[in-house]
Every structure is written in structure tokens, then in C-alpha cells.
A and B are shown apart, each in its own frame.
Chain A
């Protein structure tokens, strides 16, 4: 008898344990925890801690004394902010298996860098140069990440996805659920059109024009159309792509996503687009959530961030599981040249397994705050919006600043350029179609929906 170790785990152990080992889970715990805690303290009268840590840096020009005064007033808030997020992210980091000491050291550095970047981004001269805080964070991160070797302990805290998912769920709390329901059909239709067209073009170019493996074509197509790196990873898994295929697709996504952080806001401003339309366009044509938030925030108007979120999270990210399921079926039938009867069975659970779970947190956060406001009278509702939603919005801003710094620190252009010209050409063809199509759909076909988002 062969020696084969079979460990029997109870279902409960493995499910809870596995759930807690995912970044999505900790983003949900932290962000929803914040929404619930701030709401409870609003009713019990203890929300001072959270409102104090919702620090905003005042605008300043040459008068450093105004800045010093603002920072002095915010010093306690900054301490609260640091202690709170170091504690919650640190607990998550421990369960996720990161090196906690290094994570705390790295996060401390990231936190200090975020204050410096926010202070610089609040300067009127830098604002005139169109370098809003997100772009500044990115530029500074890219500068350091590409010119010097960052210490290993800092890497532990450079968790782009960890911060952006937390920020997206907090974003949900600031978006009334009625807006999500109202814009949902437009976002889904627009996303469907763009995703199908872009995926089709990239896949066709990759496989038919350049003769690449269909699995690589699918990874490139998913990265360029569905939801960036997450799309490439989900589809790569679904069609059993090789590790190399997924890495190439990720490289393509990162190169174009970083370029689009600068290009899309620049084009939107040059074309004089309304913020709502600009956000929807970015949501349609940017390739990754974190990069998209940087681009949408660079528009400098909350409406752009809202329409971006609706377009990207509700319209595109939500359907990655269904795409994965369809591509999985395609891979075991068409690519393996087998009919449905003889092919490997694809479990419908694939849809749920590949579904980005943080989106559930996004919806719950929105429903929670919408319900609370609906139960309050007008005056109390306005106070809740100002104190609690306002606080969550500011905290969301900090999580995004950490995200943008992480994008910069972790994007190494040298490592991304060895993918060969064929994948680059296929992906670029998709970009050439995706960007104008996204502009047309946002600015013409669905313009009224995006303009109605306040």
C-alpha cells in the first residue's frame, strides 16, 4: 500500500480558516468594522475618536505658518489615525501570515510618506501643476521604486490590494444604495459592451494575428477588458493558463494602467468633460481598480470618483466570476477539441470561487449607511452624513493615498519590459479600441446617467 498522507479537515475549520487567510476578508472586516463602529458611536455619543482621526491637510501656498498651524491642530488626529490603522492592518497582516514586525515598520514609513505627499499635494503651486495628491503619490513612489532598492521590511507593507479594497468598501459607505441601483443597469450595459469588444479584439489579435496560445490570449483579453490584474488572474486560473501567461498579462496591465493614470485625467480635462462623465470613462477604460481610483481622484471632483466606482466595481468587477466560468468551459471544450459530453466537468461554483468577495462588503456598507439615514429624521440624517459619512470619506482618502504610494513603489518598469512585442501589440490594439469606445459610451450613449450622479 502506498504511503499517501490524507489529512481530514472538518468543513468548518477549513472554511473559516481559508476565509480569514484572504485579503478580501480583512478588507471587509476592517472597513465594515469602521462603518459599524462609527455608526454606533454616532448614536452613543462617542464618535469624537473617529472624527478626530479624520484628518484633512489644509491648502497652503508660501505661508508655511498656516500649514504648521493646521498640522499642529491635527497632530492628535494623526496619532489616532496611525495607531488605529497600524493596529487593524497589523492584526490582519498577522492572520494573513505577513511578518508583523516588518509590516508595522513598513506601514509606519508608508504613513509618514503619505503625510508628506498630502502636505505637498495641498500646496497651491503644486495643484496648479495639475499634480493632485494621487498623482504626486504615484510619481514619488515610482521615483523611489525605480531608482533605488527598497528594504525588505518596507515590501511587507506595500500591499496595494489590501488598502484599495478597504478603500473601496469605505467608498460603498459613502454611496447611497439608491444611486447604485439607479446607475447599475447603465454601468452593467456599458461595461458589457466594452468588455466583449475589447476582450474579442485582444483575443483575436493575440491568437489569429500573432499566433499566441489561446490561454495567453484569454489572459491578455481579461486583463484589458474585465478587471486588470484580478481579471488576468481569475481567467488565467479558469483556463489553466501557464504561470508565464499570467505574468505577461499582468505586465501589460501594469504598463498600460500606470500610463492611463496620467493620460485619462489629462484627456478628460483637455476635452472639458463633466466630472461624472470623466469618472465613467475612467471606469470603462482604466485597467485596474487601484490605478483607476488614482485617475478618478486626479479629476479632483467627488462625482468622478462615484461614477468611476459605479462603472468599475458594479459594472465590471462584479462579473469576473461569470467570465471565468465561460472561459473555463471554452478551454475544456473548444481549445481541447472535445464535445461537452467528453470534456472535463466545470463546476458552477467557479462563478462564486472567482467572484471578488470585497464587492459584497462594498454593497453591505452602502446598504448599511443608506438604511441608517432613511431611519433618521432630516436633521439627524444631515448630521450623520456630515459627521460619519464625512469621516469615512476622509479615511477612505487616506487608504487611497497608501494605495497610490504602493502602486508607485511596486511598479518596476525594468521587470515589466521583457514580455515580447506580440503580447504588447495585441494588448495595445485593445487599448486603441477601448479608450475611444469608452469615451463615446460615457459621453454620448449613457451621458445622462453619469451626469445625474451627484
Chain B
């Protein structure tokens, strides 16, 4: 009756964590701040890459936008994908799951 697509958004630049808006506003910025910012970014990128590798094993394909990587599958159900990521050691806060159902032909 329905088809679905599971989308998992993984933010490479998590603006809430890195607070880049704050970075632009700080007038007296120092090297340590930038170095710390770089470390956070590298750490985050590594986590996203690891998630991508796990999801690729389950047949997910990937697209990207400005600050995120989006994994998509029409075979793996959303809750199953979420449980899998949690079992692999990732946390709820590292990804967002979006599940979209569509009617198959003609349905009322």
C-alpha cells in the first residue's frame, strides 16, 4: 500500500555545537579558540564518516547539502536504522531520522 524512504541527516557542521555564529561575533578572537574549533570539526567529520561507513554497509546512498550528509534508503526502515546506529555506538544527538511514506498507485 505504501512505499517509503528513510533519510538520516548527519550534520558535519553542527551549528549548535560549534556555535559558528558566535565565532563571527567575537571581536577579540585568539588562536586557541580557532584550534579548538578545528579539533571539534575534525572530530565531528570523523563521526559522520564512521556513520556513513556503517550505513553504506546497509545499502544507504548519500547526498550532501551545505552542512550535512544525508543518507537515504528505501529498503531499511527508519526505526531499524536508528537502532542499528545506536548499537554501533552513535548517539541520538548525532543524527536525525526522517521517514517519508507515500501511497502506492491510486490509493484513496
Interface on A for B, CB 8 Å cutoff? 2, 4-9, 11, 14, 155-156, 158-161, 215, 228-229, 233-234, 236-238, 240-243, 246-247, 250-251, 253-254, 257-258, 288, 290-291, 332, 338, 342-347, 350, 353, 406-407, 409-411
CB of B108 within 8 A of CB of A11, answer: no
Known contacts A342-B92, A347-B96, then 13 further A-B pairs from the complex at CB < 8 Å, ordered by chain A residue: A2-B56, A9-B63, A155-B105, A229-B103, A233-B101, A237-B98, A243-B77, A250-B2, A344-B92, A344-B93, A344-B96, A344-B97, A345-B96
Does B106 have its Cβ within 8 Å of any Cβ on chain A? yes
Q: Say if the beta carbon of B100 comes within 8 Å of chain A.
A: yes
Q: Are B107 and A4 in contact (CB under 8 A)?
A: no
Residues of A contacting B106 in the complex (Cβ-Cβ under 8 angstroms): 155, 158-160, 406, 409-410
Residues of A with C-beta under 8 A to B66: 11
Q: Are A254 and B82 in contact (CB under 8 A)?
A: no
- What's the least CB distance linking A427 to chain B, in Å? 15
Instruction: Check: B65 CB closer than 8 A to any chain A CB.
Output: yes
B61: chain A residues within 8 A (beta carbon): 5
Q: Are B108 and A160 in contact (CB under 8 A)?
A: yes
B 49-73 binary contact with A (CB < 8 Å = 1; else 0): 0001100100001111110010000
Q: Is B37 an interface residue (CB 8 A)?
A: no
List residues of B whose CB falls within 8 A of some A CB: 1-2, 4, 52-53, 56, 61-66, 69, 77-79, 82, 92-93, 95-103, 105-108
Q: Evaluate contact between A246 and B64: CB separation under 8 angstroms.
A: no
- The total number of A-B Cβ pairs within 8 Å is 116
Which residues of B sit under 8 angstroms from A215, Cβ to Cβ?
79
- B2 proximity list for chain A (CB < 8 A): 233, 236, 243, 246-247, 250
Measured CB to CB, the closest approach of chain B to A417, in angstroms, equals 13
A344 touching B62 in the complex, CB below 8 Å, given contacts A159-B106, A243-B2: no
* Given A4-B53, A410-B107: A242 and B96 interface contact (C-beta under 8 Å): no
**B82 contacts which chain A residues (CB < 8 A)?**
240, 344
Please judge, given known A-B contacts A4-B52, A247-B2, A347-B96, whether A237 and B107 are in contact too, CB under 8 Å.
no
Q: Which of B63, B97, B108 contacts A254 (CB 8 A)?
A: B108
**B63 contacts A6, C-beta separation under 8 Å:** yes
Q: Which 5 A-B pairs have the closest CB atoms?
A: A158-B106, A344-B92, A240-B78, A410-B106, A233-B101
Q: Which residues of A contact B63 (CB under 8 A)?
A: 6-9, 14
Task: Report chain B residues within 8 Å CB of A4.
Answer: 52-53, 56, 62
A215 to B82, CA, bound (A): 15
CB < 8 Å: which of B95, B97, B107 contacts A240? B97
CA distance A258 to B77 in the complex (A): 30
Cα distance, A4 to B62, chains bound together (Å): 8
Known A-B contacts A2-B56, A291-B108, A344-B97; A161 and B103 likewise in contact (beta carbons under 8 Å): yes
Which residue of chain A has its CB nearest to the CB of B102?
Answer: A233
Once bound together, how far apart are the Cα atoms of A250 and B100, in whole Å?
15
21 residue pairs A–B, Cβ–Cβ below 8 Å: A4-B56, A7-B64, A9-B63, A14-B63, A155-B106, A215-B79, A234-B101, A236-B99, A237-B4, A240-B77, A241-B79, A241-B99, A243-B101, A247-B1, A253-B108, A254-B107, A338-B92, A346-B96, A406-B106, A407-B108, A411-B108
Give the CA-CA distance A240 to B78 in the complex, in Å.
6
Asked if B108 and A290 sit within 8 Å, CB to CB, the answer is yes
Chain A residues with CB under 8 Å of B64's CB are 6-8
Please report the C-alpha to C-alpha distance between residue A350 and residue B107 in the assembled complex, in whole angstroms.
Answer: 24
Interface centre among B65, B82, B96, B107 (most CB of A within 10 A): B107
> Is A6's CB under 8 angstroms from B69's CB?
yes
**B53–A2 CB distance below 8 A:** yes
A159 and B105 contacting across the interface, CB-CB below 8 Å: yes
Nearest CB of chain A from residue B100's CB, rounded to whole Å:
5
A268 to chain B, nearest CB (A): 21
